[in-house]
Amino acid sequence: MNGLKALFEGFELILSPGLKRFVLVPTLVNLIVFMALMASLWGLLAGWVLAVTDFLPGWLDWVSFLIQPLAMMIALVLFVFGFTVINGFLAAPFYGILAEKVERKLDPNAALPVESLGQLVGRTLGREVTKWLWYLPRALMLLVFSLVPVINLLAPFAWFAFGAWVLLIEYRDYLNDNHAQPLSLTRAQAWEHPLDSLAFGGSVLLLISVPLLNLLIPSAAVAGATAWGVRRRQLSQSPALPPA
């Protein structure tokens, strides 16, 4: 349950005194991205449904009632993917600052490097590129897997697990990035407790598809994942108890 606890703690942290103001800008970015994607996908959805309906021959008119639910599912997948990618690049510097403030709140003695705003922006955006260069080849492999008959029956579960893992890496990495640690460390830490990692990422994946609630989910995920990492670091650094 550590993954779920971390997400709940993230909500508590972003609403706590001293941290709320660092959530304002990312939330505004989320709102802009949300409205732009909704408007774009609404037009795309309407045009797609109309085009497919017109293409169907008369004797397949009975299939038309299935088109709109299918289009809604496709639009939902595109929305979650687009929201995560666009929001990640636009708000990455602000999430880096939020992760730093959460770490200092939980561990005032944390040794964090001093850098300018320009260095922060360049570092966080470069890290996003690094993460997506790692994600995309694996997504393409999963896409090929999804096209194989019979095996593709497992594709929905594989895509959900992959999406959960991507979001766990995405939001947990801000802590390590602030300490100039490689992305490989974040991936290794995720594998130390894979069920907790999937629980965290899966919860974020489900909640980020909920309109309006998804305005706060990324900030809560950054804060929760950072707190999770800080507490595990503190636990590993605490002295062992003497034998009884």
User: pLDDT tens for residues 5-44?
Assistant: 888 888 999 988 888 888 888 888 878 877 777 777 666 6
pLDDT of residue 244: 45
Residue 45 in any domain: the answer is no
Q: Cα–Cα distances in Å, from 237 out to 64, 229, 231, 232, 241?
A: 61, 12, 10, 9, 12
Is residue 69's pLDDT more than 90?
A: no
- Of residues 116 and 200, more confidence is placed in 200
Is residue 60's pLDDT more than 80?
A: no
- Residue owning tokens 């100039």: 180
User: pLDDT tens for residues 102-123?
Assistant: 999 988 887 777 777 788 888 8
Mean pLDDT (whole number) for 154-183: 87
Residue 93 in any domain: the answer is yes
**Domain around 133:** 2-33+83-231
User: pLDDT tens for residues 135-160?
Assistant: 888 888 887 887 777 776 777 788 88
List the single range of 40-54, 104-118, 167-181 with lowest mean pLDDT: 40-54
Mean pLDDT (whole number) for 68-81: 63
Most confident of 46-60, 73-87, 144-158, 191-205: 191-205
pLDDT of residue 146: 72
Residue 78 in any domain: the answer is no
Is residue 197's pLDDT more than 60?
A: yes
Residue 174 in any domain: the answer is yes
What domain count does the chain have?
Answer: 1
Residue 203 in any domain: the answer is yes
- Of residues 184 and 143, more confidence is placed in 184
Mean pLDDT (whole number) for 180-204: 90
